[in-house]
Homo-oligomer: A and B are copies of this chain.
Amino acid sequence: MTEQLAVAVLGAGGRMGAEAVKAVDAAEDLKLVAALGRGDSLDSLAGTGAQVVVDLTTPDSTEANVRFAVEHGMHAVVGTTGWDEQKRRNLDALLEAHPGTGVLIAPNFALGSVLASAFAAKAARYFESVEIIELHHPDKVDAPSGTAVRTAQLVAASREEAGVSASPDATTKSLDGARGADVEGVRVHSVRLRGLVAHQEVLLGGPGEQLTIRHDSFDRASFMPGVLLGVRAVASHPGLTYGLDGYLDLND
């Protein structure tokens, strides 16, 4: 039998953290060596033999956690928000001093969502028209969703790079809001419907054809395959990687 990878989960008392504890525990090739909650001292990590630390904590503690891990020779997989450019630059500098250590920071661990955005960006340059529809439960306070805004930005950047014109639109007579929000030239429509969780459709159209890339997120469980993929791959990706797509094999 191959040796198991030793994993510690930080933020184990939170909803995502608790899911991660279960997922690591259930994976045959992984061994859960520590599950720390709010108030547990980082020092207790030191003796656990953890090779990979999963950080699902809070924006005010994640930076110290990752620094501690790197300084103790542990790789880190991070799903906590708050990693702005300045913090990532600081981490880059720290990792230069620890050349064999890898850190993955991912704003989104849902494989399907990451793939959908990547595919939409690749395809966007080959179609005359692109629009995005995102659909969520009605308790969501922001519209469009952050994921839809980021997808629109990736689509816009891909089209600009390829010199593609704006999507055609002959609308001259419109009710306010009918044509959606304009995110860097890409129309985004936000549906709010009881019963839904989180869903997104990128629609690409050319003469006589349509390509649709849709992602449905039904459950928080959807993040775990991405977390585990990160845990297994982080040791072979030294340095800082931002975004799970850096670990996906999209280029063969």
> Which of A123, A168, A187, A208 has most B Cβ within 10 Å?
A208
**B179 and A195 contact, CB distance less than 8 A:** no
CB interface residues, A 231-252, toward B, < 8 Å: 248-252
Interface 1/0s, chain A 202-227, versus B by CB < 8 A?
Answer: 01111111111111111111111100
CB interface residues, A 4-48, toward B, < 8 Å: none
Interface 1/0s, chain A 91-130, versus B by CB < 8 A?
Answer: 0000000000000000000111101100100110111110
Hey, which chain B residues are within 8 Å of A172, CB to CB?
141-142
Taking the complex as formed, is A174 at the interface, i.e. its CB lies under 8 A from any CB of chain B?
A: yes
Interface size class of A (residues with CB under 8 A): 35 or more
Hey, which chain B residues are within 8 Å of A74, CB to CB?
none
**A177 and B171 contact, CB distance less than 8 A:** no
Taking chain A's interface residues, is the majority helix, strand, or loop, or is none over half, making it mixed? mixed
Q: How many copies does the complex hold?
A: 4
Determine the distance from Cα of A228 to Cα of B121 in the docked complex, in whole angstroms: 21
Taking the complex as formed, is A1 at the interface, i.e. its CB lies under 8 A from any CB of chain B?
A: no
Taking the complex as formed, is A167 at the interface, i.e. its CB lies under 8 A from any CB of chain B?
A: yes
Segment of A53-61, A63-71, A82-90, A131-139 engaged in the interface with chain B: A131-139
**B115 and A206 contact, CB distance less than 8 A:** no
**A169 and B138 contact, CB distance less than 8 A:** yes
**A112 and B248 contact, CB distance less than 8 A:** no
Hey, which chain B residues are within 8 Å of A194, CB to CB?
127-129, 167-168, 205-207
